[in-house]
Structure 1
Amino acid sequence: MHRLFVAIRPPADIRSRLLGLMQGVKGARWQDDEQLHITLRFIGEVDGRQAEDAAAVLDSVRASPVSVAVAGVGSFGSRGRTNAIWAGVRPHEPLAHLHRKIDQALVRTGLEPERRAYLPHITLARFGRESGGVEAFLADHAGLASPPFEIAAFGLYESHLGHEGASYALVQRYLLS
Structure 2
Amino acid sequence: MRLFLGLRPPAPVRDALLAAQCGVDGARWQDEDQLHLTLRFIGEIDHRGADDLGAALGSVMGDAFDLAIRGAGHFERKGRPSALWAAIAPSDGLLTLHRRVASACRAAGVPPDSKSFVPHVTLARLGGHSTGAGEWLARHGALSAPPWPVTSFRLYESTLAPTGSRYTTLAKWPLARRTADSG
Normalised TM-score (structure 1): 0.96
Q: Does 1:11 align with 2:10?
A: yes
Q: Distance in 2 between matches of 1:147 and 1:10?
A: 10
Provide runs of 4+ in structure 1 moved above 2 Å.
Answer: none
Displacement of 1:130: 1.7
What is residue 122 of structure 2 aligned with on the other side?
A: 123
Deviation at 1:129, TM superposition (A): 2.2
- State the identity %: 44
> Is residue 84–residue 125 contact of structure 2 (8 Å, CA) maintained in 1?
yes
Q: Is it true that 1:25 corresponds to 2:15 in the alignment?
A: no
- 2:106 aligns with 107
CA distance in 1, matches of 2:133, 2:17: 16
> Which residue type is aligned with residue 55 of structure 1?
G
CA deviation vs aligned residue, 1:18-44 (integer Å, no higher than 9, x gap): 111111101100000000000000000
Give structure 2 stretches of 5+ with no counterpart: 177-183
TM-superposed CA distance for 1:168, in Å, is 0.2
Give CA-to-partner distance per residue, 1:63-107, whole Å, 9 cap, x none. Answer: 110111100000001211111000001124321221111011010
Range that drifts further, 98-107 or 139-148: 139-148
Q: Distance in 2 between matches of 1:147 and 1:127?
A: 27
Aligned to 1:103, the other structure's residue is in SS state helix
| Matches of 1:66 and 1:24, distance apart in 2 | 33
Number of matched pairs: 176
Distance 1:174 1:40 in 2: 13
Which residue of the partner structure matches residue 94 of structure 1? 93
Could you tell me which amino acid in structure 2 is paired with residue 94 of structure 1? G
- Paired with 1:34 and 1:55, the residues of 2 have a C-alpha distance of 23
TM-score (normalised: structure 2):
0.93
1:58 maps to 57
Matches within 5 A, 1:26-175: 26-175=25-174
Partner amino acid, structure 1, of 2:21? M
Contact conserved, 2:12 with 2:146, CA < 8 A, in 1?
no
- In 2, the alpha carbon distance for the partners of 1:143 and 1:128 equals 24
CA RMSD of aligned residues (A): 0.9
| 3-state DSSP of counterpart to 2:68 | strand
Gaps of 5+ in 1: none
